[in-house]
Amino acid sequence: MFKTSPLRKRQLYGGIIGLAIGVLAIVFFNLKSSEEYISLGPMNAGHDDLSCVTCHADAKGNLAQQLQSNVEFAIGLREKSVDFGTQDVTVKNCLECHDRPNDRHPPHRFSEPRFKKAIKKIDATTCITCHSEHNGERVTVASLNYCMNCHRDLEVEDDPIDVPHIRLIANEQWSTCIQCHDFHGNHAYEVPVKLNDTIPMAVIRDYLNGGRDPYGDSKKHIGLSEPEWIKLKLQD
Ligand code: HEC
Ligand code: HEC
Ligand code: HEC
Ligand code: HEC
Ligand code: HEC
């Protein structure tokens, strides 16, 4: 008589997810206003809506337990929230929402021994080298000429550009690279072929700081939203 129909089950499931999102939202606002963290800078571009737990997993416990300890913190049953900083934010956290099979510089690739020397200069095995969080920016790497660490021997067959790559490299013009190429290859856009048509450095800088995207609006992949991330976690 009281058999649950599939529809009822789905409603229940939806309810649970809704509740989880609600709880996360409460926890988020609570932490945001918590004095301890006011000294932290603003979230980076695109991350305003994310709760702390999406990147800072509790040192122990699964998502449900973390949520519980966050709730206990929020309603005053617990002195400290999850231990921020006890567990480092790693490339794994970022890839949970930004797993992009088209990335031409995927972090795992640079664990190969032949990149050992380059990695000492620019650690491309992790995102945080270039995207440190809580800076209210998009990209935080100090200098954009780091291409030099891996592309010194580049030879482009039938080079289409007016000042060929081989000349740019011989002249050490390493800041020009990012003025034509986005780093991850996630933008669908026409790569310039004339040095005169490159994106001005000031415009690139503005983009890295959080401004308009000069490589265009057409992207192959965008990050998962928090509800999508929660769904993924609950499936595990
Ligand atoms: C998008 C991922 C992300 C989110 C969301 C996030 N953080 Fe962070 N947080 C980081 C990263 C990455 C670092 C390390 C920064 C670095 O090394 O440059 C960090 C560092 C910190 C630190 C310093 C810890 C240390 O060991 O230096 C604190 C405290 C912190 N975050 C608190 C918070 C709080 C509170 C929230 C929620 C309001 C939050 N974070 C949301 C990614 C995130
Ligand atoms: C819970 C999911 C989630 C996690 C975890 C996460 N992000 Fe994001 N991130 C997003 C969303 C959603 C956006 C906004 C949509 C977009 O632009 O892709 C975004 C945007 C960004 C952007 C700006 C994109 C743009 O063009 O404006 C960068 C850079 C970025 N994330 C890097 C990181 C790094 C590095 C980490 C790990 C420290 C991380 N993200 C962790 C979901 C996430
Ligand atoms: C060696 C430096 C470096 C590393 C490592 C790096 N990035 Fe980036 N990232 C950049 C630069 C430079 C840009 C701006 C150019 C562009 O848009 O590709 C950028 C742009 C982005 C963007 C916005 C444009 C887009 O592709 O949608 C996202 C999102 C992003 N990075 C995520 C990540 C994540 C996630 C990781 C780790 C898996 C990572 N990055 C590792 C330098 C880096
Ligand atoms: C840590 C090493 C490393 C760094 C730093 C690096 N690259 Fe690369 N890049 C690679 C490797 C490896 C490939 C793949 C080449 C291959 O498959 O033969 C690649 C491929 C590329 C491609 C071609 C992608 C394709 O499939 O056609 C472009 C364009 C590129 N990189 C631009 C840049 C620019 C611009 C920078 C600096 C902002 C940069 N790279 C920094 C290692 C690096
Ligand atoms: C004026 C614009 C421009 C500049 C500056 C430029 N490139 Fe390119 N690059 C291109 C074009 C166009 C191609 C060929 C089409 C493509 O692969 O997108 C190309 C191709 C490449 C490739 C792919 C080669 C292959 O065989 O598939 C790599 C790697 C690369 N460039 C790296 C660099 C590096 C490193 C720099 C800085 C020294 C640089 N580029 C500067 C426009 C430019």
From 165, 172, 173, mutation site for ligand 5 pocket: most ligand atoms within 8 A of C-beta: 165
Q: Which two tokens stand for residue 216?
A: 């265009």
Each residue's pLDDT tens digit, 9-43: 777 777 777 777 766 665 655 555 454 455 688 99
Considering Cα of 53, then 140, then 108, then 192, what sign does the dihedral take? Answer: positive
Average pLDDT, the chain: 86
Decide: 54 in ligand 1 pocket, CB within 6 A.
Answer: yes
Q: Are 217 and 131 in contact (CB under 8 A)?
A: no
User: What's the token pair of residue 166?
Assistant: 């081989």
Nearest residue (CA) to ligand 5, atom 33: 177
- The radius of gyration of the chain's CA atoms, rounded to the nearest angstrom, is 22
User: Over the stretch 35-66, which tens digit does the pLDDT of each residue have?
Assistant: 445 568 899 999 999 988 888 876 566 666 66
> Residue 213 CA: which ligand 2 atom is closest?
26
Question: 144-203: per-residue pLDDT in tens?
Answer: 999 999 999 999 999 999 999 999 999 999 999 999 999 999 999 999 999 999 999 999
Mutate to test the pocket of ligand 3, among 127, 148, 180, 221 (most ligand atoms within 8 A of CB): 127
* Rounded CA separation 98/228 (Å): 12
d(CA 205, CA 199): 10
Ligand of minimum distance to the alpha carbon of 133: 1
